[in-house]
Amino acid sequence: MSTVTASSPGPAAGGGRGAGGAIERVDRTGKLIYGFLRRIPTWVLWLMVIVWSIPASSLFLNSFRTRDAQRNSGWWESFNEGGWTLANYSEVLGTEQTGGLARALVNSFAIAIPATVIPVAIAAMAAYAFAWIKFRGREWLFIVFVSLLALPNQVALLPLLQLYAGGAHWTIPGTEFTLTLFPDFDLAGSATAVWLTHTAFALPFAVFLLHNYISSLPGELFEAARIDGADHVTIFWRLVVPLSVPALAAFTIFQFLWTWNDYLVAITMIGSNGEAWPATIRIASLAGEFGLREHVLSAGAFVQAGVPLIVFFALQRFFVRGLLAGSVKS
């Protein structure tokens, strides 16, 4: 416990004690001022909270206002003027012609679910191998693997898109013969390309985070199991997975929010194929036609943010734990 009051003058404010009513009165005034000063940090905090809440709450209020109300006055006027409506939300949940997001939300799920489940599964296995299976070059391989965290996604986007769009081929030098190294699955423009990419991009962080946790599990437990004849598969499935639920949950939430909110990978891999657009691209394109559909844009942004906000409020502790594990060893 450390209550820090950075700008309070310290207990010295009540100093100068002596006998007599006058001094007592001065003392009381001093205490009053001191109490006032003491509360300044708290006021600053709540002021900060208010400032931080204004942007999102103003959009939230606007999303319930009619097109005319939004265009002609600020949200703060709505308390006098009225002009409330739910029409924006019904438009936004409708079809694309009215700026609807229904299909885009489905696409977002279609990307975020596989892009979360698959990395968690394979990263957990790799993390277990790095932590508890002894092999030559383990440290070295782990460091290389985790170093991939440094790669910005941008570095891999263009080559990956080329891979998805045409496969990889190699003409053997000196011959006419072309070997297909990676077949052309015609993935560009599909949700599959997006979640495959997310899976690859997520792995270094996932392995890093889960390794931190799994390597701290008690080794004697695994030794005992091995003596009882359990192999790595049994140990992994029966012991490691159940014991790592907190870390797995933390990463799952983190990765789900990350892929749900992603824009860069999706716009690169899907491009102009509007049918496969997730909600982020959809609302960004609504923003591009600013003025035309600005009245549904606020509702759209809120519908897109709804899922992460629900996750955030319901599972905040895991989410925070995921973040903590990502930056500092807890």
Partner 1 sequence: MGALGGALIGVVIAIGASTALFFGANWLFDLAVDRWRTFLATSGALVGALIGAVIAGNDVAGGPLWLWAAVCAVVGAAAGIAASLLGTPSKSSRTRLSERGRLVTFLGPSLLFAALGLVIPLIRSIYLSLLDSRAAEWVGLANYGEILTNPNSLDLSGWTEIFTSRLFYAALVLIAVGLGIGMAVGRRRGRTMEALPGSIGPIAIGLFVLSFAVFTTLRGTVINNLWWVVVVTGLSTALGLAAAVLADGVRGESVAKSLIFLPMAISFVGAGIIWRFMYIARPPQKPQTGFLNAIWVWLGSLRPRTGGAWVAVLILALATVLLAGLCAFGVRRRQTAFAIGAAVTAIPVLWLIYRFLGPGLGGSVPGPTGEPIAGTILFLQEAPFNNVWLMVVLIWIQTGFAMVILSAAIKAVPSELIEAARVDGATERQTFWNVIIPTIIPTITVVATTLIVLVMKVYDIVKVMTAGNFGTQVIANEMWQKAFTELNFGLGSALAVVLFLAVVPAMAFNIRRTQRADA
List binders of partner 1 among 156-215 (CB under 8 A): 156-161, 163, 178-180, 182-183, 191-192, 195-197, 199-201, 203-204, 207, 212
Cα separation, 124 vs 120, in Å, equals 6
Q: Of 24, 25, 35, 46, which one interacts with partner 1 (CB under 8 A)? A: 46
For 103, residues 6+ apart whose C-beta sits below 8 A from its C-beta are 96, 275
Assigned token pair, 119: 């990395």
d(CA 155, CA 163): 14
283 binds partner 1 (CB under 8 A): yes
Binding span for partner 1 by CB under 8 A among 20-28, 64-72, 81-89, 92-100: 64-72
DSSP letter assigned to residue 237? I
Name the one range near partner 1 by CB under 8 A: 79-87, 89-97, 221-229, 277-285.
277-285
Distance, first Cα to last Cα, the chain = 18
Whole-number Å distance between alpha carbons of 204 and 123: 8
Q: Restricting to residues 228-257, name those near partner 1 by CB under 8 A.
A: 231-233, 236, 257
Which residues in the 89-148 window bind partner 1 by CB under 8 A? 103, 106-107, 109-111, 113-114, 117-118, 121-123, 125-126, 128-130, 133, 135, 143, 145-148
Does the footprint of partner 1 cover residue 154 (CB under 8 A)? Answer: yes
CB of 107 to partner 1, least distance (A): 5
Q: What is the DSSP string of 80-136?
A: HH--B-SHHHHHHTS-GGGT--HHHHHHHHHHHHHHHHHHHHHHHHHHHHHHH---T
H/E stretch holding 180 reads strand 178-182
In the complex, what is the shortest distance from the CB of residue 169 to partner 1, in angstroms, rounded to a whole number? 9
Examine residue 227 and tell whether it contacts partner 1 (CB under 8 A).
Answer: no
- In the complex, what is the shortest distance from the CB of residue 214 to partner 1, in angstroms, rounded to a whole number? 12
> What's the closest the beta carbon of residue 88 comes to partner 1, in angstroms?
14
CA distance 200 to 203: 6
Note whether 65 and 84 are within 8 A (CB).
yes
Which of 64, 70, 88, 101 binds partner 1 (CB under 8 A)? It is 70
Cα–Cα distance for residue pair 59/183, rounded to 1 Å:
46
87 or 109: CB nearest partner 1 = 109
Q: Looking at beta carbons only, is 19 or 150 nearer to partner 1?
A: 150
Question: DSSP class of residue 1?
Answer: -
Options 19-27, 85-93, 150-158, 218-226: segment touching partner 1 (CB under 8 A): 150-158
From 268, 295, 296, 299, residue interacting with partner 1 (rule: CB under 8 A): 268
